[in-house]
Amino acid sequence: MRRVTIVCPAGGIGGARFISGLLRHLARANRQDEVIVIANTADDIRILGLQVCPDLDTLMYTLGGGISKERGWGREGETWQVKDELQSYEFGPTWFGLGDRDLATHLVRTSMLDAGFTLTEVTHALCQRWNPGVTLLPMSDDRVETHVVVEDDQGRRAIHFQEWWIRHRAALPALSFPIIGIETSRPTAQVLTAIAEANVILLPPSNPVVSIGTIMSVPGMREALASATAPVVGVSPIIGGKPVRGMADACLSAIDVATTAAGVAEHYGPRTAGGLLDAWLIDETDAAAQAEITALGIRTVVQPTLMIDDDAAANLAAAALDTAESLR
C-alpha cells in the first residue's frame, strides 16, 4: 500500500481522541502513513507570563501518552503545589488549572519563544520528548486569541475564551467570538505545504466554531484547502442534537448555527460551493438527516461516531479514512 499523508486540522480533546484513534487504526492495519496535525492556537493564553497552548498540549500529551485520562487535559499524575502557593499569595487567576508538571512545558515554551524561536520550532522541540507519532503543527506562528463577548448584570464585556470556557463553563451567553490578531495572522509555511501535499484531509469532531472555525479563519487557510487536491472528510461533533463533549452548543448558538449534524454540515458547506466538506460522517442517531445533508452536495456516511473507547475511536477514524480514500 502506498504511504499517504493525512492532514487533520484539530482542536483539543475531541481532536486528540480522534487522531489517537487514527494512529491506532493505522497501526493495526500495519500502515506507515504520515499524519500531520494542524492545531488551533487561538485558545492560547498568557498566564503569569507563561505562554499556555491548551490544544497543542492536549494533542501532544494525549498522543505522547502523558495525558490525564481522567480529566482529558493536563498531565497524568499531576500535582498542584505551584497553584496552591499562588493562592497563598492571592495572585493570578485561580480558575485556570496550572499543574506543576504542565507548568514545565509552559516554562520551556515561553523561554524558547522569548529566545526567538517560532511556536512551530518550539512545538517540534517539545515533541522530541513526547514522540506523539504525528507531526504537530500550530496553525500559525502569530499570536491569535479568541475572546468572547458576553453580557450579564456586570454589563457587556469581552473576556478571554479560556475564562469563558473554564471559569464560566460557557454558561454566560456568548454574543460573539472576536479573534484578536486573526486579520494579520498567516498559516505557517509548514501548514500550507502540508495542506498542498496532503492525500487526505480529515476534520475530527472538534468544536466547529472555536477550533475548526478558528483554524479556517486564518487568512489563506480556506484558500489553501480550496486548492488542495486531497478530499476533505469531516466527522460531526454533534450527536442527537447535542455536542458529544464540551460546550459546542453554546458556541454554535452564538453564531446562529443549529446544534445538529445537518446544521454543522451546512455551516461548513460543500466543497463544490466553496465550503469545506467533500463528505460528512454522522452518527446512526442522526441517520434521518442523511438525505438533507446529501442534498447540500456533501456525501454523507452514517456510522457510529461516539468514541466510547480506543477501538471505537479507531473504527471511526478508519471509516473517515475509507470515505476519503473512496473519494480520491
Q: Binding residues for its own copies, per CB under 8 A?
A: 48-50, 79, 81-82, 85-86, 88-92, 100-101, 103-105, 107-108, 110-111, 114, 126, 129
Q: Which residue's CB is nearer to its own copies, number 108 or number 312? A: 108
Q: 212 by DSSP, 3-state: which?
A: helix
**Minimum Å distance from CB 129 to its own copies?**
5
Whether the CB-CB separation of 58 and 43 falls below 8 Å is answered with no
Q: How far is CA 254 from the centre of its chain?
A: 19
**Minimum Å distance from CB 105 to its own copies?**
7
Q: Which residue's CB is nearer to its own copies, number 110 or number 193? A: 110
Query: What is the rounded distance in angstroms from the CA atom of residue 11 to the CA atom of residue 25?
Result: 20
Q: Which residue's CB is nearer to its own copies, number 107 or number 295? A: 107
Q: Which of 244, 173, 293, 206 is nearest to 9 (CA)?
A: 206
**Minimum Å distance from CB 49 to its own copies?**
5
Please give the sequence-ordered ranges of beta strands (E in DSSP) within the chain, or none if there are none: 5-10, 34-39, 45-47, 50-52, 135-138, 145-152, 155-160, 174-176, 179-180, 200-203, 232-235, 238-239, 242-243, 279-282, 299-302
**Minimum Å distance from CB 266 to its own copies?**
44
Q: Which residue's CB is nearer to its own copies, number 132 or number 263? A: 132
Q: Which residue's CB is nearer to its own copies, number 104 or number 171? A: 104
Q: Which residue's CB is nearer to its own copies, number 48 or number 247? A: 48
> On the CB side of 209, how many CA atoms lie within 13 Å of its CA?
28
**Minimum Å distance from CB 110 to its own copies?**
6
Q: Which residue's CB is nearer to its own copies, number 60 or number 239? A: 60
**Minimum Å distance from CB 211 to its own copies?**
26
**Minimum Å distance from CB 121 to its own copies?**
14
Q: 48 by DSSP, 3-state: which?
A: coil
Q: Which residue's CB is nearer to its own copies, number 125 or number 226? A: 125
Q: Which of 177, 179, 174 is nearest to 250 (CA)?
A: 174
Q: How far is CA 228 from the centre of its chain?
A: 20
Q: How far is CA 49 from the centre of its chain?
A: 24
Query: What is the rounded distance in angstroms from the CA atom of residue 281 to the CA atom of residue 235?
Result: 5
**Minimum Å distance from CB 82 to its own copies?**
5
Whether the CB-CB separation of 83 and 98 falls below 8 Å is answered with yes
**Pairing label, strands 299-302, 5-10:** unpaired
